[in-house]
Structure 1
């Protein structure tokens, strides 16, 4: 069984949840939540390549979302807070989020690194239950 190269899925927020599509393959799916979208994407991708007997592993699929969509969905992540965390001008990050400016590859990596850092910090926190 052959193995497929990387498949990039573009994620977008919709009125009913999320959609994902590939620019390189006729693969499209939707989901009410991100986890559902990811599961549906795996299923749709396997179905698309089934006749070709090509095995698709979840690691073969990359999900991409633009800044505006990301911050629209993850409203809990404040752009001003993120800018302070990564040492970036808050107005500049706001322009990236609104789509009026496009970040360079270096700036994108800096922002993504900051998002990952915040995610790691949050995953290490346990909340106390009060009686």
Structure 2
């Protein structure tokens, strides 16, 4: 079973949550690993106490529980601060000042804006994955 953890930036920490059926688990932590560990504990606890009667948890096995992360725009730029907002905004055809406001949490992007930013990030990922470095002498 794979659950999507939504990561959001909080005041000095990250917030994480997932929803499965009627169950919503939330936690905070300094790292994704801490959030994942906390949410794993919450999922197992839910399963042991209530989840066995929740049809959306059919097939749950503690050892096979996997998570994947999804970031809000603000948390993404916090985590990947080596990427410049200006470059991503330019590549997405967005105003850099507006994207900086998304990053700081002053404004929140529409779904359309999020999709544009996400498309650029995915393309950068493909480019980075194809890089081969030479450490010649």
TM-score under structure 1 normalisation? 0.68
Distance in 1, Cα, partners of 2:114 & 2:79: 18
2:95 is the counterpart of 1:97: no
CA 1:108–1:16 in structure 2 vs 1: closer, same or farther (change >3 Å)? Answer: closer
Deviation at 1:36, TM superposition (A): 5.5
Distance 1:105 1:26, change over 3 A: closer
Does structure 2 conserve the Cα–Cα contact (< 8 Å) formed by 1:27 and 1:48? Answer: no
- Name which of 69, 80, 88 aligns with 1:74: 80
Q: Which moved more, 1:110-119 or 1:81-90?
A: 81-90
| Match of residue 5, structure 2, among 9, 12, 37 | 9
| Pair 1:108 & 2:104 matched | no
Report the TM-score, using the length of structure 2 for normalisation: 0.66
Q: Give the unaligned 5+ runs of structure 1.
A: none
User: Cα offset for 1:111?
Assistant: 0.6
